Structure 1
Amino acid sequence: MARRRLSLSLRWGDMDAYRHINNVEIVRLLEEARVRAFGLESPDGSAPMLATGMVVAKHTVEYLRPLDYRLAPVAVDLWVGRTGGASFEVDYELLEPDTDAVGELRTYVRASTVCVAYDFDEGRPRRLDDDERRRLALLADD
């Protein structure tokens, strides 16, 4: 399957005093994309990965250019990079949904989040199960 593209709207309150979308709000946009990708029921009816236990261990964000507030939505491309025993990496690009006049996609942010499968009852990380690995593989970038 590879990358998944999500369309997200900006809010007026996301803008800071410098008249661009604040860095904290950028991370919230990435969170919204991640929740939409992993928090919804799977096509086979199984529980969403957020319901089975998942926490964020690390964010890495590279700001490439300022994102100004506008009414048109932005696109977030999301895919799974590396998968380990108990963790996996979600990679993102925040960009224009369509090419600009020069035929390029304008990219504002490149980022990654390390997520860890977590047992909330035990209060510790747990191994990814076979079903979770299968679902992560569907979002792996070729």
Structure 2
Amino acid sequence: MTDRFVYDVSLRWSDMDAYGHVNNARFLTLYEEARVAMFFVGARAHGLGSFEEGIVIARHEIDYLRPVDFGDPVRIEMWVSELRAASFTVSYELFDDGVLASRAQSVCVPYHLANGHPRRLSAAEKDFLKPYTPPEDRS
């Protein structure tokens, strides 16, 4: 079984649209908050700070399965569905009151912000990501 990084995100009144649901574009913000928690806070807790040097998003894909109303925090579960030499894909599921409300994926590219170019994942970064990959991809 693939380990998942789980993060609860509080909804803000500003996340709502005119219909009283979380605005579709705000889903990206919710997913971003969870991703930042994983790659900055979670990685730092494992002694890894290199993701803070830069990660850029090459692609987002979102499926909206049901509206999310203002209320309790939503739970986002994340894992790494693809791990390559110079990119990785983060998959997400967003749960509202325990019900799956959205699925998404982001292609992330490690980036050296100071030098302005993409870079390859380090061995330490791959080691951090591997528990979140499917078991068959951990070799």
What TM-score, normalized by structure 1, do the two folds share?
0.86
Q: Distance in 2 between matches of 1:67 and 1:80?
A: 24
**Structure 1: any 5+ residue segments left out of the alignment?**
99-105
Task: Choose which of 94, 115, 120 in structure 2 pairs with 1:122.
Answer: 115
Q: Distance in 2 between matches of 1:141 and 1:79?
A: 8
- Matched residue of 1:28: which SS? helix
Aligned sequence identity (%): 41
More helix by share: 2
**Structure 2: any 5+ residue segments left out of the alignment?**
none
Question: Pairwise mapping of residues 57-68 of structure 1 onto structure 2 (< 5 A)?
Answer: 57-68=58-69
2:89 partner letter: E
Change (3 A) 1:45 1:83: same
- Matched residue of 1:117: which SS? strand
Q: 1:12 offset after TM fit, Å?
A: 1.2
Kindly provide the CA deviation profile for residues 109-141 of structure 1, in whole angstroms up to 9, marking residues without a partner as x.
000000001112321111111011001112224
Q: Distance in 2 between matches of 1:19 and 1:61?
A: 20
Change (3 A) 1:2 1:25: same
Kindly provide the CA deviation profile for residues 10-55 of structure 1, in whole angstroms up to 9, marking residues without a partner as x.
1111110111000111110000000000011533423152x13211
What TM-score, normalized by structure 2, do the two folds share?
0.88
CA RMSD of aligned residues (A): 1.6
Kindly provide the CA deviation profile for residues 58-111 of structure 1, in whole angstroms up to 9, marking residues without a partner as x.
1000001111111x111000111101111000110000354xxxxxxx111000
Question: Pairwise mapping of residues 1-142 of structure 1 onto structure 2 (< 5 A)?
Answer: 2-40=3-41, 41-47=43-49, 49=51, 51-70=52-71, 72-96=72-96, 98=98, 106-142=99-135
- Matched residue of 1:42: which SS? helix
Q: How many residues align?
A: 133
Q: Distance in 1 between matches of 2:18 and 2:97?
A: 25
